[in-house]
């Protein structure tokens, strides 16, 4: 009997839902009245409001305990501790007292507006007159408020509960929105890989298309994990979509990350918010194969292309590359993602690629597995660019690290067979894999590691510029990495896509056959 009880308790424990899952189920109840692309803002703004209130109440109690009750209504005593001051109409207790009222959506709008007005660092971060215009079902909104009310956002600061909820929701929203959407979110394991490779310890970090701010968040987590100081990093970013710009400001504010995301949401190409910036680290996931990003007569003399051919209007990939190059400091390093098509091709793109290589900026090309992104199933490439590759020395967490002179070489890495499945149809890197990949690249880069790096078939190869020139300046890894059992000219990604398409058709046919069989049985009087 005791064993049965233990089994029952263990089974019940396994079924216990996390806070993230419970909140997600509550958010999903908004379906029908609100589109998934909208209700992320509904939920995340409310989570932000609860978190800001919890921090406010904590600081208020501290002031009282310290005998400073006379100052509990002075914003300066909150801002000094990186806490937002919350006025009466914005307090969570007031929201919950009125959660069942018909005008609760209006009260939430007023609460968010008042917080933004009384905290200058939140300018442009919170939605304005948003909830009252959505026509939300009052009962569903009240149920969501009840679930958020259960969260003690300060319970476990070490595990960053509120940050966990944000990450979980951003990933789930990206999955729910599917192809063509979810561009605001870069899967965490990819961002972690970029951070481990470029190691953003000290200086200015920039993301020209920052989405919800995930690159910055993971950079700060990298610093914490390696016992660095977050104050040594300054954050600069830009985002085109206004709602995502607000989401980024909220995401960073929740974690106490000071940032400069420009005065407004704006197109990086046509309204550069950081024209004079020189960044030590650049991390980016630009829109893949962006079409019609400029008109034929636009941006021809833009200083960002100085010394290079003008990027073609048909595809923004090389526009993003040259924007990144223009922002790179003399010792700076960049890690960014592009569709694989940018690795090869003729004409203007080949000329720019040649110029980048001859200027010794391309350090490594890392091809990633398919199905890592929620918005597309294609395989993409991580580019690593670096300045001063001849004699680069960088301070990393109090130590000076000297890089080998590799300016006439490029490291190619193929990770298409790496990763593990998650969420049934996606791929992600494990922490151990990220560490192993980054270490291999560092072994190739750094002095004192000459004997620890070696070319490995079907994994990595260090190619000279002479080799690359002979292959028409192509950066396709399979042209350089040795493949024992595969034809290097075989279009692996194309074949995989073809097979996936065939499988999809077979599944459709199977479903159609099932439906036909079901109809036949029902005609014969059987209920299935």
CA proximity to 472, closest of 298, 337, 349, 373: 349
Question: Both 63 and 187 in a single domain?
Answer: no
Helix (H, G, I), strand (E, B) or coil at 424: coil
CATH number at residue 31: 1.20.1260.30
> In percent, how much of the chain has pLDDT > 90?
50
Structural domain contains residue 10: no
Residue 322: domain span: 178-479
For the cut 60, the answer to whether the pLDDT of residue 14 exceeds it is: no
pTM: 0.81
Q: What is the pLDDT, as a whole number, of residue 182?
A: 42
Q: What is the pLDDT, as a whole number, of residue 12?
A: 41
Question: Both 128 and 271 in a single domain?
Answer: no
Question: Both 70 and 87 in a single domain?
Answer: yes
| pLDDT (tens digit per residue) in 371-427 | 888 767 777 999 999 998 888 888 877 788 889 999 999 999 999 999 998 877 789
Show contacts of 258-265: CB within 8 Å, 24+ apart: 258/121, 258/234, 259/213, 259/216, 259/235, 260/234, 260/235, 260/236, 261/210, 261/236, 261/237, 262/237, 262/238, 263/124, 264/124, 265/239, 265/240, 265/241
| Contact present, 285 and 214 (Cβ < 8 Å) | no
Structural domain contains residue 507: yes
| pLDDT (tens digit per residue) in 268-298 | 999 999 999 999 999 999 988 899 899 888 9
Q: What is the pLDDT, as a whole number, of residue 10?
A: 44
Structural domain contains residue 9: no
For the segment 430-459, the average pLDDT, to the nearest whole number, is: 91
Question: Both 198 and 337 in a single domain?
Answer: yes
Question: Both 351 and 455 in a single domain?
Answer: yes
Q: What is the pLDDT, as a whole number, of residue 467?
A: 97
Question: Both 190 and 131 in a single domain?
Answer: no
| pLDDT (tens digit per residue) in 297-329 | 899 999 999 999 999 999 999 999 999 999 999
Question: Both 116 and 262 in a single domain?
Answer: no
For the cut 60, the answer to whether the pLDDT of residue 240 exceeds it is: yes
User: Alpha-carbon torsion 96, 99, 103, 107, what sign?
Assistant: positive
Structural domain contains residue 11: no
Structural domain contains residue 340: yes
Q: What is the pLDDT, as a whole number, of residue 344?
A: 92
Question: Both 353 and 411 in a single domain?
Answer: yes
| pLDDT (tens digit per residue) in 100-126 | 999 999 999 999 999 999 888 888 888
Instruction: Write down the H helix ranges in 206-241.
Output: 214-225
Q: What is the pLDDT, as a whole number, of residue 497?
A: 55
Structural domain contains residue 364: yes
Secondary structure letter of residue 304 according to DSSP: G
The whole-angstrom separation of Cα 255 and Cα 293 is 33
Structural domain total, the chain: 3
Question: Both 307 and 381 in a single domain?
Answer: yes
């Amino acid at each position: 009997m005791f064993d049965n009880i233990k089994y029952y308790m263990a089974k019940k424990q396994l079924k216990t839902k996390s806070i993230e899952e419970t909140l997600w189920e509550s958010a999903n109840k908004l379906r029908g009245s609100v589109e998934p692309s909208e209700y992320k803002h509904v939920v995340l703004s409310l989570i932000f409001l609860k978190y800001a209130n919890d921090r406010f109440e904590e600081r208020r109690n501290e002031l009282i305990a310290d005998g400073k009750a006379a100052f509990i209504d002075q914003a300066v005593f909150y801002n000094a501790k990186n806490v937002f001051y919350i006025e009466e109409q914005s307090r969570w207790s007031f929201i919950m007292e009125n959660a069942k009222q018909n005008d609760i959506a209006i009260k939430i709008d007023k609460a968010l507006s008042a917080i933004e007005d009384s905290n200058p660092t939140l300018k442009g971060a919170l939605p304005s007159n948003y909830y009252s215009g959505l026509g939300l079902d009052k009962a569903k909104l009240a149920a969501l408020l009840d679930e958020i009310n259960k969260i003690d956002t300060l319970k476990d600061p070490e595990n960053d509960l509120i940050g966990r909820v944000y990450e979980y929701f951003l990933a789930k929203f990206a999955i729910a929105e599917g192809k063509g959407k979810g561009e605001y979110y870069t899967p965490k394991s990819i961002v972690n890989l970029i951070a481990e490779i470029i190691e953003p310890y000290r200086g200015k970090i920039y993301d020209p298309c920052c989405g919800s701010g995930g690159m910055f968040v993971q950079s700060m987590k990298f610093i914490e994990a390696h016992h660095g100081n977050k104050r040594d990093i300054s954050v600069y970013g830009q985002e085109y979509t206004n709602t995502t710009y607000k989401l980024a400001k909220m995401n960073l504010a929740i974690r106490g990350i000071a940032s400069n995301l420009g005065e407004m949401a704006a197109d990086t190409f046509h309204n550069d918010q950081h024209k004079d910036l020189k960044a030590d680290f650049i991390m980016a996931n630009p829109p893949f194969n962006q079409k019609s990003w400029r008109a034929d007569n636009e941006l021809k003399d833009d200083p960002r292309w100085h010394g290079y051919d003008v990027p073609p209007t048909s595809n923004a990939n090389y526009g993003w590359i040259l924007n990144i190059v223009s922002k790179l400091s003399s010792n700076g390093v960049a890690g960014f993602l592009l569709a694989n098509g940018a690795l090869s091709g003729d004409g203007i793109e080949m000329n720019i690629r040649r110029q980048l290589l001859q200027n010794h900026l391309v350090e490594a090309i890392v091809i990633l597995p398919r199905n890592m992104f929620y918005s597309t199933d294609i395989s993409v490439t991580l580019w690593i660019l670096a300045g001063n590759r001849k004699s680069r020395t960088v301070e990393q967490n109090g130590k000076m690290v000297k890089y080998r002179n590799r300016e006439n070489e490029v490291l190619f890495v193929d990770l298409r067979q790496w990763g593990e499945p998650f969420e049934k149809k996606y791929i992600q890197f494990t922490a151990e894999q990220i560490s192993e990949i980054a270490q291999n690249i560092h072994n190739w880069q750094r002095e004192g590691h000459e004997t620890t790096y070696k070319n490995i078939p079907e994994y990595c190869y260090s190619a000279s510029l002479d080799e690359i020139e002979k292959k028409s300046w192509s950066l396709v890894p399979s042209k350089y990495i040795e493949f024992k059992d595969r034809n290097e000219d075989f279009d692996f990604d194309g074949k995989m896509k073809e097979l996936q398409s065939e499988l999809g058709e077979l599944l459709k046919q199977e479903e159609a056959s099932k439906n036909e069989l079901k109809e036949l049985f029902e005609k014969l009087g059987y209920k299935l």
